[in-house]
Amino acid sequence: MGLIVQKYGGSSVSDAESIKRVAKRIVEARRAGNDVAVVVSAMGDTTDELIDLANQVTPLPPSREMDILLTAGERISMSLLAMAIANLGVEAQSFTGQQAGVITDDEHGKARIIDVKATRIREALAEGNVAIVAGFQGVTEHTNDVTTLGRGGSDTTAVALAAGLDADVCEIYTDVDGVFTADPRIVPSARKIDRITYEEMLDMAASGAKVLMLRCVEYARRHGVPIHVRSSFSGHEGTLVTDEPYEGEGQMEQPIISGVAHDSSEAKVTVVGVPDVPGTAARVFEVVAEAGVNIDMIVQNVSAAQTGLTDISFTLPADDGARATAALEVAKDALGFASLQYDDTIGKLSLVGAGMKSHPGVSAKLFGALRDSGINIEMISTSEIRVSVVTRSDQLADAVRAVHTAFGLDSSEGEAVVYGGTGR
Amino acid sequence: MGLIVQKYGGSSVSDAESIKRVAKRIVEARRAGNDVAVVVSAMGDTTDELIDLANQVTPLPPSREMDILLTAGERISMSLLAMAIANLGVEAQSFTGQQAGVITDDEHGKARIIDVKATRIREALAEGNVAIVAGFQGVTEHTNDVTTLGRGGSDTTAVALAAGLDADVCEIYTDVDGVFTADPRIVPSARKIDRITYEEMLDMAASGAKVLMLRCVEYARRHGVPIHVRSSFSGHEGTLVTDEPYEGEGQMEQPIISGVAHDSSEAKVTVVGVPDVPGTAARVFEVVAEAGVNIDMIVQNVSAAQTGLTDISFTLPADDGARATAALEVAKDALGFASLQYDDTIGKLSLVGAGMKSHPGVSAKLFGALRDSGINIEMISTSEIRVSVVTRSDQLADAVRAVHTAFGLDSSEGEAVVYGGTGR
Nearest CA in chain B to A74: B72
Half-sphere exposure of A36 (CA within 13 A, CB side): 27
- Give me the helices (H) in A127-246, please: 153-165, 198-206, 214-223
* Residue contact B86–A56, C-beta within 8 A: no
Please state the φ and ψ torsions of residue A150, each to the nearest 5 degrees.
Answer: 80, -170
Of B19, B50, B57, the CB nearest to A57: B19
Residues of A in contact with B68 (CB under 8 A): 75, 78-79, 82, 94, 96
A103 contacts A157 by C-beta, under 8 angstroms: no
Separation of alpha carbons A337 and A139, rounded Å: 47
Of A61, A76, A86, the CB nearest to B72: A76
Strand order through the sheet with A137-140: A113-116, A102-104, A137-140, A146-148
**What is the pLDDT at residue B374?**
94
Bridging pattern class, strands B169-174 and B227-231 = parallel
Average pLDDT, chain B: 90
Same domain, A154 and A298: no
Separation of alpha carbons B399 and B388, rounded Å: 12
**Residue B58 located in a structural domain:** yes
Angle at CA of residue A32, ends A30 and A21, nearest 5°: 55
Q: Which residues contact A44 (CB under 8 A, 6 or more apart)?
A: A10, A11, A13, A14, A15
Report pTM.
Answer: 0.83
Selection from B244, B312, B221 nearest residue B272 by Cα: B312
Q: Which residues constitute the domain of residue A27?
A: 3-174
Longest dimension (CA), chain A: 81
Average pLDDT over residues B247-273: 80
Shortest alpha-carbon distance between residue A319 and chain B (Å) = 26
* Residue contact A58–B83, C-beta within 8 A: yes
Residues of A in contact with B72 (CB under 8 A): 72-73, 75-76, 79
Residue A175, annotated ligand binder? yes
A195 contacts A228 by C-beta, under 8 angstroms: no
Same domain, A272 and A145: no
Residue A421, annotated ligand binder? no
Residue-wise DSSP of B207-245: TT--SS-HHHHHHHHHHT--EEEEESSS----EEEESSP
Residue-wise DSSP of B166-193: T-SEEEEEESSSS-BSS-TTT-TT--B-
Separation of alpha carbons A90 and B30, rounded Å: 50
Shortest alpha-carbon distance between residue A61 and chain B (Å) = 5
Tell me the CATH number at B128: 3.40.1160.10
Of A57, A92, A96, the CB nearest to B87: A57
SS3 A244: coil
Query: What is the distance between the terminal CA atoms of chain A, rounded to a whole angstrom?
Result: 29
Separation of alpha carbons A147 and B132, rounded Å: 18
Q: What is the ipTM of this complex?
A: 0.80
Half-sphere exposure of A161 (CA within 13 A, CB side): 40
Separation of alpha carbons B322 and B325, rounded Å: 5
B152 contacts B111 by C-beta, under 8 angstroms: no
**What is the pLDDT at residue A420?**
34
Please check the confidence at residue B113 and state whether its pLDDT lies above 60. yes
**What is the pLDDT at residue A175?**
84
Domain count for chain A, please give it: 2
* Residue contact B65–A79, C-beta within 8 A: yes
**Residue B201 located in a structural domain:** no
* Residue contact B93–A65, C-beta within 8 A: yes
SS3 annotation, B358-420: HCCCHHHHHHHHHHHCCCCCCEEEEECCEEEEEEEHHHHHHHHHHHHHHCCCCCCCCCCCCCC
Residue A181, annotated ligand binder? no
Please state the φ and ψ torsions of residue A363, each to the nearest 5 degrees.
Answer: -60, -45
**Residue B356 located in a structural domain:** no
* Residue contact B144–A56, C-beta within 8 A: no
Q: In the A/B pair of chains, how many CB contacts fall below 8 A?
A: 110
DSSP A180: B
- Window 86-125 of A: residues touching B by CB (8 A cutoff) are 86-87, 92-94, 96, 99
Longest dimension (CA), chain B: 81
* Residue contact B94–A68, C-beta within 8 A: yes
For residue range B265-307, list pLDDT tens digits in order: 999 999 999 988 888 888 999 999 999 888 989 988 776 667 7
**Residue B252 located in a structural domain:** no
- Among A144, A174, A204, residue at a domain's last position: A174
Residue A211, annotated ligand binder? yes
Nearest CA in chain B to A46: B76
For residue range B384-404, list pLDDT tens digits in order: 889 999 999 999 999 999 999
Best mutation site among B68, B132, B145 for testing chain A: the one with the most A CBs within 10 Å?
B68
A206 contacts A214 by C-beta, under 8 angstroms: yes
Which conformational region is residue B256 in: left (phi greater than 0), alpha (psi within -120 to 50 degrees), or beta? alpha
- Among A174, A193, A212, residue at a domain's last position: A174
Nearest CA in chain B to A60: B87
Tell me the CATH number at A341: 3.30.2130.10
Residues of A in contact with B86 (CB under 8 A): 58, 61-62, 65
pLDDT in tens, chain A (424 residues): 799 999 999 989 999 999 999 999 999 999 999 999 999 999 999 999 999 999 999 999 999 999 999 999 999 999 999 999 999 999 999 999 999 999 999 999 999 999 999 999 999 999 999 999 999 999 998 888 899 998 779 999 999 999 999 999 999 998 889 999 999 999 999 999 999 999 999 999 989 888 898 899 999 999 999 999 999 888 899 999 998 765 555 444 557 888 999 999 999 999 999 988 888 888 999 999 999 888 999 988 776 667 788 899 999 999 999 999 999 999 999 999 999 999 999 999 999 998 888 788 899 999 999 999 999 999 998 888 999 999 999 999 999 999 999 999 998 644 433 333 333 4
SS3 B206: helix
- Among A137, A153, A174, residue at a domain's last position: A174
Selection from A388, A393, A296, A303 nearest residue A344 by Cα: A393
**Residue B145 located in a structural domain:** yes
* Residue contact B65–A83, C-beta within 8 A: yes
- Residue ranges of the annotated binding site of B for ATP are 7-10, 174-175, 185, 210-211
**Is some CB atom of chain A closer than 8 A to the CB atom of B19?**
yes
Query: What is the distance between the terminal CA atoms of chain B, rounded to a whole angstrom?
Result: 29
Of B75, B80, B87, the CB nearest to A53: B80
Residues of B in contact with A93 (CB under 8 A): 64-65
**Residue A182 located in a structural domain:** no
- Give me the helices (H) in A127-173, please: 153-165
Of A19, A57, A82, the CB nearest to B80: A57
**Residue A238 located in a structural domain:** no
* Residue contact A69–B50, C-beta within 8 A: no
Our measurement of the distance from residue A310's CA atom to the centroid of its chain's CA atoms, rounded to an integer in Å, reads 35
**Is some CB atom of chain A closer than 8 A to the CB atom of B54?**
yes
Q: Write the burial class of residue A233 (CB in 10 Å: 0-12 exposed, 13-18 middle, 19+ buried).
A: middle
**Residue B396 located in a structural domain:** no
Is the alpha carbon torsion for A123, A127, A128, A133 positive or negative? negative
Angle at CA of residue A236, ends A234 and A237, nearest 5°: 140
Residues of A in contact with B19 (CB under 8 A): 57
**Is some CB atom of chain B closer than 8 A to the CB atom of A22?**
no
Burial track B170-179 (b if 16+ CB lie within 10 A, e otherwise)? bbbbbbbbbb
Average pLDDT over residues B83-96: 97
**What is the pLDDT at residue B248?**
53
Angle at CA of residue A177, ends A171 and A240, nearest 5°: 45
* Residue contact A83–B66, C-beta within 8 A: yes
Shortest alpha-carbon distance between residue A138 and chain B (Å) = 15
Separation of alpha carbons B41 and B77, rounded Å: 7
Best mutation site among B79, B85, B87 for testing chain A: the one with the most A CBs within 10 Å?
B79
Of B68, B86, B99, the CB nearest to A79: B68
Residue-wise DSSP of A354-370: GGGGG-TTHHHHHHHHH
**Alpha carbon separation from A74 to A23, A138, B134, B141 (Å, rounded):** 16, 12, 17, 24
Separation of alpha carbons A234 and A249, rounded Å: 23
